[in-house]
Amino acid sequence: MNQAADLDELSLFRDMARRAFEQEITPHYEQWEADKMVPRALWHRLGDAGLLGPDVEEQYGGAGASPHVTLAMIEELSAMGFGGFASGYGIHNNIVAPYLSRHGTEEQKAHWLPRMVTGEVVGALAMTEPGAGSDVQSIRTHAVRDGDDWVLNGSKIFITNGIHADLVIVAAITDPGKGAKGTSLFLVDAHAPGFEKSRKIDKIGQHTSDTALLFFNDVRLPAEALLGEENSGFIIMMNELPRERLGIAAQAIAASEGALDITVQYVQEREAFGQKIGQFQNTRFKLADVKTEITLNRAFYEQCARQYAEGRLTADTAAMLKLASCEMQCRVADQCLQLFGGYGYTAEYPISRFYVDARIQTIYGGSSEIMRELVARSILGR
């Protein structure tokens, strides 16, 4: 597909997404924030609208679009202030589906992908554990062979889509003597005996993201539940991290743009000391700084997105992108909220949601500290 056709496809999907999100999400989002959960039916409605798995191959029910389309959907949700659901949407479409598409067998893809596209199946990725966060090499969840089957035991924490999930890709140790090289990935049916979901974890932001603690108590998995080769899990996760971090950057930049948009509108309407807030030099300079930061980060993001499409996005470049964009998002949200004054600190004004939803972005998907270490290694070696 040529570049003009790619842009036409992207524009088509963006327009379709905006209309669907405005219809299906906007009228209800405040209530879902209060409920701290989106309804399971939302996934079905987005599936019906053709907005799930857009870059899944057509033979499995997707549109066969480029990854840019999935990233654009994440951007639209984030810019509209739906940060919590944007995270869950990203896990399902930008992580779990690509894991399956790139590493699954034909049987695995045929079994799971069509139902992910319709919303019948919601996907989650389970790497983080109570004692292993950004350091995925320290996981303790393990799977042992029992005949042709595997038996899975352990727990995972902070799992996005954990409550709604029907399919969970679980990282587990399969060869304890090999460290990270003894890690495998499994496609785990969340309805299997021994699979237990905790109550939803209460967070300071991203309330509509159903984050859960998961337990695996002698969960019996068939041999075909193994994703990729045995003991290749760590390599697969490392290879897929650039796309995950690209998706998080998409959230960061689009959410920052959304926060700026509503702030510009507010300062042009609100008055103090006999003039619009937007007429004060401090306001104008703050907005100029914010706009400049967003523009620089978007340019870097677009460059990285092109590199990913061409198979050239490296782990250290993706780490720089995540580090820069997420730190920027937190600064932008803080500056924009400040311009709302006391109103910005109330839940009534959407800027407060942009603020609290931003904070996790420098933590999940690899913390800013880990991103700095990865970049430093690319410069200095270990």
Token pair, residue 375, equals 């970049």
pLDDT at 134: 64
Rounded CA separation 53/363 (Å): 26
Strand partners, 176: none
In degrees, rounded to 5, the angle at the alpha carbon of residue 76 between the alpha carbons of residues 336 and 297 is 55
In contact, 185 and 170? CB cutoff 8 Å: yes
- Where does the chain have alpha helices with state H? 3-24, 29-35, 41-48, 67-79, 83-90, 97-103, 106-118, 233-269, 281-309, 315-339, 351-358, 368-380
Instruction: Please pick, among 76, 240, 244, 293, the residue that the annotation labels catalytic.
Output: 244
Domains identified in the chain and CATH numbers: 3-121 (1.10.540.10), 125-229 (2.40.110.10), 234-380 (1.20.140.10)
In degrees, rounded to 5, the angle at the alpha carbon of residue 164 between the alpha carbons of residues 365 and 10 is 60
pLDDT at 9: 78
Is residue 159 within a helix (H) or strand (E), and if so which, with residue range? strand 149-159
Rounded CA separation 249/71 (Å): 9
pLDDT at 3: 58
Say if strands 149-159 and 212-221 run parallel, antiparallel, or are unpaired. antiparallel
Strand partners, 271: 276
**pTM of the full structure:** 0.95
pLDDT at 1: 40
List all residues 6 or more positions away from 292 whose beta carbon is below 8 Å from its beta carbon: none
Token pair, residue 295, equals 């523009």
In contact, 112 and 121? CB cutoff 8 Å: yes
Residue 244 annotated in active site:
yes
pLDDT tens, the chain, 382 aa long = 455 547 777 888 899 999 999 999 999 999 999 999 999 999 999 999 999 999 999 999 999 999 999 999 999 999 999 999 999 999 999 999 999 999 999 999 999 999 999 999 999 999 999 877 666 677 899 999 999 999 999 999 999 999 999 999 999 999 998 888 999 999 999 999 999 998 789 999 999 999 999 999 999 999 999 999 999 999 999 999 999 999 999 999 999 999 999 999 999 999 999 999 999 999 999 999 999 999 999 999 999 999 999 999 999 999 999 999 999 999 999 999 999 999 999 999 999 999 999 999 999 999 999 999 999 999 998 7
In contact, 340 and 355? CB cutoff 8 Å: no
pLDDT at 4: 52
In our burial notation (b when 16+ CB lie closer than 10 A, e otherwise), range 18-45 reads bebbeebbeeebeebbeebbbeeebbeb
pLDDT at 164: 97
In our burial notation (b when 16+ CB lie closer than 10 A, e otherwise), range 332-357 reads bbebbbbbbeeebeeeebbbbbbbbb
